[in-house]
């Protein structure tokens, strides 16, 4: 303890500074060198905290190459799946078109039967063939 007439030393704690324009967690780290005095940085507690943070950052940095590799693998897999999806879409469009054209040709048959029997027979036969082909392509692609 100090004597009653003895003055206490002046408090030389952290000095406020103008905040630097940064985002998120960086805000706390951006001012650490400016807000702690040399005396405070010399304390073992501050040094231990800083060392722990440095070690944590080294561990995080060690994970980055694995994360980048995983990201590249995911991008490659995404490209492969997109290519498969495009192929599936093309097959789906082709099979739907064949089925629809075949259905239109078969549906045209009864209206033209009285006037054009041979042409109607060809339309119906081609329509049935297109419908069967469309359904077959659709089943095979799945």
The token pair that represents 102 in the structure block: 């075949």
- At residue 27, the pLDDT reads 57
- CA-to-CA distance for 101 and 30, rounded, in angstroms? 68
- CA-to-CA distance for 67 and 15, rounded, in angstroms? 39
Highest mean pLDDT among 8-12, 72-76, 94-98, 118-122: 72-76
Task: Report the run of H or E that residue 31 belongs to, with start and end.
Answer: none
- At residue 15, the pLDDT reads 53
Whether 130 contacts 95, CB under 8 Å: no
- CA-to-CA distance for 39 and 25, rounded, in angstroms? 25
- CA-to-CA distance for 83 and 1, rounded, in angstroms? 79
Please choose, from the candidates 131, 139, 122, the residue with its C-alpha nearest in 3D space to the C-alpha of residue 104: 131
- At residue 114, the pLDDT reads 76
| Average pLDDT in the chain | 78
- At residue 67, the pLDDT reads 92
Reply yes or no on whether the pLDDT at 103 is more than 70. Answer: yes
Q: Tell me if residue 4 falls in helix, strand or coil.
A: coil
pLDDT tens digits, residue range 47-58? 888 888 889 999
Q: Where are the domains of the chain?
A: 26-141
| Mean pLDDT, residues 97-112 | 85
The token pair that represents 84 in the structure block: 């498969």
Q: Is residue 1 very low, low, confident or very high in pLDDT (cuts 50, 70, 90)?
A: very low
The token pair that represents 136 in the structure block: 């077959």
Whether 102 contacts 134, CB under 8 Å: yes
Instruction: Decide: residue 115, CB within 10 A, 0-12 exposed, 13-18 middle, 19+ buried.
Output: exposed
pTM of the model: 0.47
């Amino acid at each position: 303890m100090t004597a009653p007439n003895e003055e206490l030393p002046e408090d030389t704690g952290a000095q406020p500074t103008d905040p630097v324009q940064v985002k998120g967690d960086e805000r706390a780290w951006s001012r650490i060198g400016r807000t702690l005095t040399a005396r405070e940085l010399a304390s073992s507690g501050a040094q231990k905290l800083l060392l722990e943070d440095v070690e944590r950052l080294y561990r995080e940095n060690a994970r980055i190459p694995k994360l980048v590799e995983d990201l590249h693998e995911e991008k490659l897999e995404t490209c492969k799946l997109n290519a498969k999806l495009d192929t599936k879409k093309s097959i789906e469009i082709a099979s739907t078109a064949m089925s629809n054209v075949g259905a239109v040709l078969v549906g045209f048959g009864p209206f033209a039967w009285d006037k054009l029997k041979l042409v109607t027979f060809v339309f119906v036969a081609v329509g049935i063939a297109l419908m069967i082909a469309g359904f077959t392509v659709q089943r095979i692609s799945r």
